[in-house]
Amino acid sequence: MHIQTAAVHTLRGFEHGAVVPPVHLASTFELDPATDSGGYAYQRGANPTRAQLETVLAALDGAEHGFAFASGMAATAATLSTLVVGDEVLLPASVYGGTYRLVDLVLPGRGVTGRFVDDLGTLTDEDFGPSTRAVFVETPANPTLRITDLRRIVELAHRHGALVIVDNTFMSPVLQRPLELGVDVVVQSATKYLAGHSDLLAGAITTNDDALAEAFALAQKAQGGVLAPQDSFRLIQSIKTLPLRLERQQTNAEAIVAHLRDRADVAQVWYPGSHSEEEARIHASQAAGMGAVLSFELAGGLDRVAFLQALRYPAYAVSLGGVETLICRPATMTHEAMTDRARVAAGITPEMLRLSVGIEDLQDLLDDLDQALAAAR
């Protein structure tokens, strides 16, 4: 089943033949007094509406198991909660600021070490020690759009008994399916492309590993960071248009990249594959497109604040993946939790701007960028 069909029809006839699945709001469910058992007991442990969403999440990723959380960071925290005292996780230096904060400030108190690597593409056997239990990958990276060879990382990590966890937020299952490349766990901020309208917070985990699935189910029940029924239902509905939205967003983003690269008043444009021909080749081998996020830096002498103030359509706000175009400054917004030194290591410059492209009319977006660049001069 093609992903667009799966997005629409996975739950068809799921309950009573309903075309649109019902919302189950109950926080508690009646049990059989003779056995103290039932299909559901308490919403934190499981809920029919959340179960419907988790069925969809698994179907999109081609996974055996799917889990819905209250936010992308709740999902990321659940994946890393499988690590124990003495374990080490390797991450890219340019990892999302929220993940950096978790690894830098929270995990050490649990006896888990995070080691940030400038370029995961340079990892070798020597980088794995006896305590290395996981490699956490973003590809494309946020916000530098650097690419990591997932097949190579899987082979390397598995040789040392380490898990590979991939944050697939930027690509979504429409453009990249890491589990098919041997990755152990996929995590996403479902707030972004899956929800697509900047109006709900959610996170998702998918895996084919039964033991890991038990650990994630325990994390839901024990830590409680689960997605509410109303938001689960809304996410199910939003996912139905995910492939269509992303197709338009990517078309717009490709045209904007080409437009900005031709302008003398734009110093640098970053997008998947822009770092090198090798990264472009790798990305083409494991993803079905560039996605709809790019980063760029204005040429010297242009006024960044004037540029941002002049924009009519892109909102100056964090997040990405919504139908509306958003622009942010990673150094002070999405990655403000990093130290200056960490941002330099990650390749995040003070003037870098990240653009999440929406579904607006392309010419309107191009004209708006042009007039804002003129204002910046």
Q: Which of 238, 244, 248, 241 has the alpha carbon at shortest distance from 68?
A: 238
* H or E element that contains 137: strand 132-138
- The catalytically annotated residue of 96, 100, 193, 271 is 96
HSE-up of 183 (CA within 13 Å, CB side)?
Answer: 28
- The catalytically annotated residue of 192, 234, 329, 343 is 192
- The catalytically annotated residue of 167, 234, 343, 354 is 167
Contacts of 93 by beta carbon, 8 Å cutoff, 6+ apart: 116, 117, 118, 119, 342, 345, 346, 347
- Active-site residue, 221 included: no
Phi, psi of 93, deg, nearest 5? -60, -30
Name the percent of the chain in helix, strand, coil, to the closest 5.
Answer: 40, 15, 45
Q: What is the DSSP string of 249-301?
A: HHHHHHHHHHHHHT-TTEEEEE-TT-S-HHHHHHHHHH-SS--SEEEEEEPTT
- Active-site residue, 101 included: no
- Active-site residue, 50 included: no
- What per-residue string of b and e applies to 141-162 under the rule 16 or more CB within 10 Å gives b? bbbbbbbbbbeebbebbeeeeb
- SS3 label, residue 42: strand
- The catalytically annotated residue of 40, 44, 240, 263 is 44
- Active-site residue, 100 included: no
Q: Which of 216, 218, 200 has the alpha carbon at shortest distance from 208?
A: 216
Report, as residue numbers or ranges, the catalytic residues.
44, 96, 167, 192
